[in-house]
Structure 1
Amino acid sequence: MKKTLKLVFISFFFIFFIGFYFTNRLMYIKKKDHKLIFDREINAGRFHPEAFEALPKQDAAILSPFGYMIKAQLIEPHQSNRYIIIAHGVTENKVNSIKYMNLFLKRGFNAIIYDHRRHGESGGKTTSYGHYEKYDLKAVVDWLKKEKGPNLLLGIHGESMGAATMLLYAGMLEDAADFYIADCSFSNLMDQLRHQIKKELKLPPALVLPIGNLFLRLRDKYSIADVSPISVIDQIHHPILFIHSKKDDFILPSMTEKLFAQKQGPKMLFLAENGRHAQSLNDNPEGYENAIDEFLEKHVGLMIAKK
């Protein structure tokens, strides 16, 4: 009897330890320090504070449907109806979006950069890898259309979690942008977590994921299975440019290849030769820009006169 009780106690302790450890790492993932991001982008020559400050811009605080404020900046150097929204990756903030913004400013677009929930200056208590973030993105799109009118040529660019968020948003209720650029998205969170658990925790995913998912449903009110861009990709009718580095070992390029294969209608794939996760632009700048130009000209109908 004592042996049985001891085994039951150990089992419950193990389940609670795994459940809380897993969900804490997921929900409260350690974010990069703002100064680290700021200095990194300056030192790499991707962010020039004086040039950025000289751009016509306005700060915006956009109400999330979950009650907190999403902090954004609207940058408008052009008298144009072309707008791009940039969604950053997990642990980053909107400073990381500036390098992508610059590509589109050079191509005659205005831009919105913003902080995801629980990142940068935005509110929100947990990170959900696109599940709740997609509703915040909808709030940003709705705010922009209210401010600038409905007749916009609108694109959305997302990196990593931002790309997954964008795809989930586009396949949710409305294919509301005119084009999308998905840079190194995962195809579904379950497979991504399997990959990370095997690689980082050295534990069997078949043991960890059911426990972790149960605790996630209890603590943050959604399931890992809910975060699946590939399950909604066939509901996105507007053009998508898929981008991934071939050497990415964090989110595998095969995930983007699966998304590309399942997407119906206009689409394009750029697999960068160099760079690891979220480094396609940094390590392949010419190829990245050429892919964007080809995509915009072929699938969006824009002739690009770069400045």
Structure 2
Amino acid sequence: MLLTLGMLGASLYFYQYAFVPSHKTFLSNRTEPAVLRAQQWLKHVPKETWTETGAHSELRLVADWVPAAKATAKTVVIAHGYMNTKEDMARQIRFFHAAGFNVLAPDDRGHGQSQGNYIGYGYADRLDYLKWLQKVIHRVGQGAQIGLYGVSMGGATVMYLSGEKLPKQVVAIVEDCGYTSIMDELAAQGKQLFSLPRYPLIPAVALTASIKAHYNVFAASTIAALNHNTRPLLFIHGARDKFVPTSMVHREYAADHSAKQLWIVPKAGHAQSLTVEPGRYQQRVIGWFDRYFD
């Protein structure tokens, strides 16, 4: 009984630690100067605030729509990282806008201006993004050409999306340092931060989260989703990533059977590939979408 109570207490603690939106002491609070400059740009660029209702929920979700300076059908939908917001993606929004693309940048459930009291880790959010995609198509038209782009949790989000029945307008995907599954990421962080083994705690936390957040954490595998992907996919990962171990991207790359490329960025830690290789990063990402946009 004591063991059971102890496991229950630990599961609830780690659910609060990992799944409830709040200040996270294990995350850096430093904002890079390049991002700060882009955030100032984002405040003043012409844009619209879009809203949507979460899939299978009454949550009010919010996104920024930044139209291209010149009318175009080419659009990139951006997915942000864990405990980030659309404003944290300002640097990417800016370079996609400069390349002549429309950009849609949502706040995920429990993040930024969107409602929610739990973190969906991209898996719960993937169904929300399907609704955002329909909103883009309604705005741009049936001739829309859409690229999906995400970093960290956002990278997992677009990989989860790759396994869904996507609208034909989605033509290419770029994922940067997304994880193989929620359970794998929880296990990696449990080991790194607390030297904890995967069993029995991580399955217990996953069960707790599945009950409290009302989505199946056990089913949240990007590997399974990638087995069904048909869109060209560029994988990016830092060679020195310890937050989402670099070994994960090799498993993801092997699971995908579409047209694909893998870029491991030397000396880059987690979500630092753009910082370490800004010119090459933008060239590769923009080039990937340009290759598949008409």
Name the TM-score, length of structure 2 as normaliser.
0.90
DSSP-derived class of the 1:235 partner:
coil
Q: Structure 1 vs Structure 2: percent identity of aligned residues?
A: 24
Report whether the alignment pairs 1:229 with 2:205: no
CA–CA separation in structure 2 for the residues paired with 1:301 and 1:211:
44
Match of 1:267 among 255, 260, 283: 260
Structure 2 gaps of 5+ residues are none
CA–CA separation in structure 1 for the residues paired with 2:80 and 2:31:
15
CA–CA separation in structure 2 for the residues paired with 1:128 and 1:52:
26
Change (3 A) 1:222 1:182: same
Give the corresponding residue for 1:191.
184
Q: Figure out how many residues of one structure are paired with residues of the other and give that number.
A: 289
Report whether the alignment pairs 1:238 with 2:231: yes
Give the corresponding residue for 1:89.
81
Match of 1:136 among 128, 136, 141: 128
CA–CA separation in structure 1 for the residues paired with 2:21 and 2:43:
30
Report whether the alignment pairs 1:58 with 2:48: yes
CA–CA separation in structure 1 for the residues paired with 2:279 and 2:183:
34
Change (3 A) 1:296 1:85: closer
Change (3 A) 1:267 1:80: same
DSSP-derived class of the 2:77 partner:
strand
CA–CA separation in structure 2 for the residues paired with 1:270 and 1:14:
43
DSSP-derived class of the 1:71 partner:
strand
Match of 2:198 among 169, 188, 205: 205
CA–CA separation in structure 1 for the residues paired with 2:113 and 2:287:
35
Give the corresponding residue for 2:98.
106
CA–CA separation in structure 1 for the residues paired with 2:269 and 2:156:
18
Change (3 A) 1:24 1:54: closer
CA–CA separation in structure 2 for the residues paired with 1:251 and 1:222:
22
Give the corresponding residue for 1:281.
274
Change (3 A) 1:47 1:138: farther
CA–CA separation in structure 2 for the residues paired with 1:188 and 1:226:
8
Give the corresponding residue for 1:3.
none
Return the offset for 1:265: 2.2
Q: Which runs of 4+ in 1 moved over 4 A?
A: none
Give the corresponding residue for 1:16.
8
Return the offset for 1:21: 1.0
Q: Kindly indicate whether the alpha-carbon contact (under 8 Å) linking 2:147 and 2:171 is maintained by their aligned counterparts in 1.
A: yes
Q: Kindly indicate whether the alpha-carbon contact (under 8 Å) linking 1:32 and 1:92 is maintained by their aligned counterparts in 2.
A: no
| Structure 1 stretch displaced more, 269-278 or 216-225 | 216-225
CA–CA separation in structure 1 for the residues paired with 2:209 and 2:44:
44
| Structure 1 stretch displaced more, 18-27 or 48-57 | 48-57
Q: Determine which structure has more spread, i.e. the larger CA radius of gyration.
A: 1
CA–CA separation in structure 2 for the residues paired with 1:147 and 1:181:
23
DSSP-derived class of the 1:47 partner:
helix
Return the offset for 1:261: 1.9
Cα deviation code 1:262-285 (max 9, x no counterpart):
211211111111321111101211
| Structure 1 stretch displaced more, 166-175 or 260-269 | 166-175
CA–CA separation in structure 2 for the residues paired with 1:199 and 1:86:
28
CA–CA separation in structure 2 for the residues paired with 1:187 and 1:289:
24
CA–CA separation in structure 1 for the residues paired with 2:85 and 2:11:
28
DSSP-derived class of the 1:40 partner:
coil
Give the corresponding residue for 1:216.
209
| Structure 1 stretch displaced more, 257-266 or 245-254 | 257-266
CA–CA separation in structure 1 for the residues paired with 2:134 and 2:182:
26
Aligned partner of 1:171: which letter?
A: G
DSSP-derived class of the 1:243 partner:
strand
Change (3 A) 1:249 1:175: farther
Return the offset for 1:45: 5.4
Give the corresponding residue for 1:171.
163
Cα deviation code 1:111-142 (max 9, x no counterpart):
11111111000011110212211111112111
Q: Kindly indicate whether the alpha-carbon contact (under 8 Å) linking 1:84 and 1:104 is maintained by their aligned counterparts in 2.
A: yes
Structure 1 gaps of 5+ residues are 1-7, 303-307
